[in-house]
Amino acid sequence: MTIYYLGIDGGGTRCRARLADAQGTTLLQIEGGPANVFAAWDAAIGELNRLIARVASEAQIAAAQIHIVAGLAGANVPSVQQRLTRWQPECASLRVVTDVEIACVGAHGGAPGAVFIVGTGSQGACWDGDTFTLLGGWGFALSDSGSGAILGRHALRLALLAHEGVLAASPLTQRLMSRFACDAETLLLWSQRATTAEWGSVVPEVFAAARQGDLHGLALVQQTAEEIALMVQPLLARQPGKLALMGGLAQPIAPYLPERLQQALTPPQGDALSGALTLARRT
């Protein structure tokens, strides 16, 4: 029976899957919705199951031929790891790790190294070729420093302060409050049900404002850069000269990072999906 490998990268904003054959040729790549198994277990597992079924259907292969490695946001939490042992999608084999682990393997082409992901959330990892050491990844309320969701929360808190006259307003704070009809209660009600992806939805506006010289936009972006610089110090200590910055914020935040950190970073060789496929072939 022909063997296929499927790498899955499940994050807080979207889920991606890449199918490859035994020779490493990419056959198919598709996207789905969020798949954070800690923040929204039922929704994440449902999305993952649909994604696997779509891959089998679109590639016209049997699920029993597919060996899967899934790197999932939230999979670092021990109680979630226990629940994941009961997740049994139809496939030939399944290995579940965190999204930061597959990113680390992909970033260094399967060789030892370190990575810090800054997307909707944030998390770091070091790999010595055998064992992973993880950093952060404890969620929006306690962790995720330097992430899009935290930057979005900083921005909206600042916009509210400016709206109430505690701080001077700027074009950025005015635009952010206009999302909520310039009404504090509307923002309050939204904040009580907002997902991390929704908090992060304001990030493009913040970076655009920073590029235009908006005082608050620039301060917010610099704050995020400082948070990233702090978080990566233990990673650099473990893997000096082998740290890659990845995720949706990696490219826009790069010019604002301290120069010493910019010089210490190495470009990623591959993405998280390539890391998942590397692990799948080794497994």
Average pLDDT over the chain, rounded to an integer: 95
- pLDDT for res 197: 86
Mean pLDDT of 22-29: 94
What 3-state class would DSSP assign to 11?
Answer: coil
Cβ contact 54:29 at 8 Å = no
Beta-ladder partners of 129: none
pLDDT beyond 90 at 130: no
- pLDDT for res 180: 98
Segment (H or E) for 282: helix 272-282
**Residue 228: what residue type?**
I
Sheet with 66-72, side-by-side order of all strands: 26-32, 15-21, 4-10, 66-72, 93-98
Residue with tokens 């917010």: 220
pLDDT band at residue 11 under the 50/70/90 scheme: confident
Rounded CA-CA distance 30/52 in Å is 10
Fold of 4-108+268-282: Nucleotidyltransferase; domain 5 (3.30.420)
pLDDT beyond 90 at 14: no
Q: Write the CB contacts of 245 (distance below 8 Å, at least 6 apart in sequence).
A: 115, 116, 118, 228, 232, 253, 254, 265
Alpha-helix runs per DSSP H in 194-271 = 196-200, 203-211, 215-231, 233-238, 250-253, 259-264
Percent residues over pLDDT 70 in the chain: 100
Segment (H or E) for 27: strand 26-32
pLDDT beyond 80 at 230: yes
Segment (H or E) for 164: none
Residue with tokens 């999906």: 273
- Domain ranges across the chain: 4-108+268-282, 112-267
Token couple for 278: 């590397």
pLDDT beyond 80 at 178: yes
Rounded CA-CA distance 275/201 in Å is 27
Rounded CA-CA distance 271/277 in Å is 10
Percent residues over pLDDT 90 in the chain: 88
What 3-state class would DSSP assign to 155?
Answer: helix
Name the phi and psi angles at 27, rounded to 5.
-105, -30
- pLDDT for res 1: 77
Mean pLDDT of 38-58: 94
- pLDDT for res 12: 76
pLDDT band at residue 88 under the 50/70/90 scheme: very high
Token couple for 80: 């979630």
Q: What one-character DSSP code corresponds to residue 254?
A: G
- pLDDT for res 13: 78
Cβ contact 176:167 at 8 Å = no
Fold of 112-267: Nucleotidyltransferase; domain 5 (3.30.420)
